[in-house]
Amino acid sequence: MDLSEMSQEDQAGQGALRYQLGFANEFATEALPGALPQGQNSPLKPPYGLVSELVSGTAFAAPRSLNRRSYVFRIRPSTISQPFEQLDSGNFLTPPLPIEPSPTALRWGPANIPDSHADFLDGVLTICGNGSPNSQAGLAIHLYRANASMRARAFANADGEMLIVPQQGAIHVVTEMGRLDVTPGELLLIPKGMKIRVELPGASSRGFVCENFGLPFVLPELGVIGSHGLANAIDFHAPMAAFEDDDSPVQLVHKFAGKLWTTELDHSPFDVVAWRGNWTPAKYDMRRFAAMGAAIVDHPDPSIYCALTSPSSDVAGGNADFMILPPRWLVAENTFRPPGYHRNSVAEILALIQGSNESRAGPFPPGSLSLHNHWTAHGPDVKTFEAARNAVLQPQKIDETLIVMWESRYPLEIAPAAMEVSFRQKAPAQGWAGFKKRFPGSE
């Protein structure tokens, strides 16, 4: 069936949302019948008096399989008549960050929701990052904490693609391409430069944001795994076209070259009535991740949990790799079951979305975040180690636990405010103290 014939949400976005399926597919959708021109992208007079606009998310001559672009048909062009003025960035920082990379393990507990008014943009707190958007390499990891919807306000990030992972409280996200409802357990991928407005269906929401300055996220190649597994393309949901025809003033906050800029629009920027292409936001239910694992002995490398990758080097590692550790079975024989002690040539940021994480030393409730830079040894605390080595080995189901992890080949710098917040755990390494030496025992 032609996508234009599928049931559409009305322009007010009422009712349960419908989605198109696939990752980076060639989509086509219209909120009004006949709004999408057929056979060309720039007709002399588009239907309904709309304006044709090409949005290029990659270079014009990028390989076809990696090219990201969409034609949008909107009520007004995106050109802006008012100059931008620089805005105080608050705790929303961009690498390079003031505190140099450290080999010390760092950890944060669940972030508190602010007492004062804070929408999604107000509540961003940068934790760490590397690279620079000006060099188009690296990433930044932020927390977001919101207790209010964005009102008469839109945000566009020209520095990086954003991967948003709610941990507590759903979000309703209005984008130029349509609307998406995102709940804890799902992720949302927003392309670089796309305008969004984040609304709260409930009282508050908190979660994590990865800002990717490098190549756009793609699904990793599967190699010997075969034709399917890990994050399957069919499980990603892209929005249907939905639009606002509203002439009320809107503040546009634009992130560019590491700074926040602001200008005022005399209309809603979410006025795209129809669009076609593959430059689009998408959401994904992380519980659908098709995990691979050991069938006989030993742990595979954590790369088997890679759901999305921003490629960089086949040898040194990715610019940003995003891993999902969902509920799954552990069945290996004669094998230490928790992830073992490890030193890594890439930096690692791990966040607990729900459940528990037995490999983190000490308390690590949902909403917690840990950082281990390159070559910082990590693994189970002593209590977990002792329990695991004496456990009765039988098939074990890890239930109701969802963990996400980012890895990057570049060392991670730290934001000063992240070191000062009350929910940073001051001595996470204490959980590794008291290891019992058994050498030269024969256990």
Catalytic residue numbers read 299
What kind and span of H or E run contains 322?
Answer: strand 320-325
* H-state helical runs in 280-407: 382-389
Are 312 and 318 a contacting pair, CB within 8 Å?
yes
Are 381 and 430 a contacting pair, CB within 8 Å?
no
What kind and span of H or E run contains 420?
Answer: helix 416-420
Cα–Cα distance measured from residue 146 to residue 2, given in angstroms and rounded to the nearest whole number: 38
Supply 440's token pair. 């030269």
395 preceded by a cis bond (ω within 30 of 0): no
Cα–Cα distance measured from residue 302 to residue 359, given in angstroms and rounded to the nearest whole number: 13
Supply 277's token pair. 């292409």
What kind and span of H or E run contains 419?
Answer: helix 416-420
DSSP character at residue 399: -
Are 93 and 140 a contacting pair, CB within 8 Å?
yes
Report how far apart the first and last C-alpha atoms of the chain are (Å, whole number). 64
Q: Is 301 helix (H, G, I), strand (E, B) or coil?
A: coil
Half-sphere exposure of 273 (CA within 13 A, CB side): 20
CA proximity to 366, closest of 71, 167, 80, 100: 167
What is the Cα gyration radius of the chain?
23
For residue 171, give the amino acid letter.
I
101 preceded by a cis bond (ω within 30 of 0): no
Q: Is 95 helix (H, G, I), strand (E, B) or coil?
A: coil
User: How many distinct helices (H) and strands (E) make up the chain?
Assistant: 2, 29
